[in-house]
Amino acid sequence: MSAVSASVKDVRAILTRARERLGTVGQRTILFLDEIHRFNKAQQDALLPAVEEGLISLIGATTENPYFEVNSALLSRVQLFELHPLDISELERVVGRGEAALGVQLSPEIRELIAARAGGDARSALTILEVAAQTAGGAAVTESHVEDAARKRPLLYDKAGDEHYSVVSAFIKSMRGSDPDAAIYWMTRMLLMKAETTL
């Protein structure tokens, strides 16, 4: 279920079916809730009784910091697994599989460039690869194709999560360390992302 489009009524319907399934065939239900941070307090509270009594096994996915976006009562009843951005070598393997799927062949340098431009995100790497391959039109993918496909550099900046504080901390440390280049970089990164979220 996607928390973007689901309502409390939808959640209750799933819990009713889960209870029936458990009662009739003894089968438990796994509820995967994508973008769980999009559920409001009432929607998250509707899940609590089912999680507490073991009626459902809840798997919630979020790109936000769960300590800010998920109710503490629900958090206390779940196990948190933090997924980290992929490193360059992992992304190169993802790009390699994408090459095979698209039927294109990249040079090692171009594969590494795509991985570097993806910002730790496999989806971004595959999107950059696909757009670059389409732009190349059957010819060899070049650096300019990749740069064009990755026009918008991925900058991780979640204003409500940990990365927000990491960026602010880096800005402050660069100011304290009298490093004007770093201070301008971190300030620009904050301003660009702030402008992007208000558009």
97 inside domain: yes
Same domain, 104 and 69: no
Kindly report the backbone phi and psi dihedral angles of residue 108, in degrees, each rounded to the nearest multiple of 5, phi listed first: -55, -35
What's the rounded Cα separation, in Å, for the pair 36 and 43?
10
Q: pLDDT per residue over 21-38, tens digit each?
A: 998 998 889 999 998 988
What's the rounded Cα separation, in Å, for the pair 37 and 66?
7
189 inside domain: yes
Same domain, 136 and 180: no
157 inside domain: no
Q: pLDDT per residue over 121-170, tens digit each?
A: 999 999 999 999 999 988 999 999 999 888 854 455 555 556 667 777 77
How high is the pLDDT of residue 188?
83
82 inside domain: no
Give yes or no for a contact between 105 and 139, defined as CB atoms under 8 angstroms apart. no
pTM for the whole thing? 0.58
Q: Which band of pLDDT confidence, cut at 50, 70 and 90, is reported for residue 78?
A: confident
Burial (Cβ within 10 Å: 0-12, 13-18, ≥19) of residue 128:
buried
Give yes or no for a contact between 125 and 114, defined as CB atoms under 8 angstroms apart. yes
How high is the pLDDT of residue 7?
82
80 inside domain: no
81 inside domain: no
1 inside domain: no
Q: Which residue has the higher pLDDT, 81 or 159?
A: 81
Q: Is the pLDDT of residue 71 over 80?
A: yes
Count how many domains the chain has. Answer: 3
83 inside domain: no
How high is the pLDDT of residue 154?
47
Same domain, 14 and 71: yes
What's the rounded Cα separation, in Å, for the pair 23 and 1?
22
How high is the pLDDT of residue 171?
82
Same domain, 69 and 94: no
**Which domain covers residue 178, as residue numbers?**
162-198
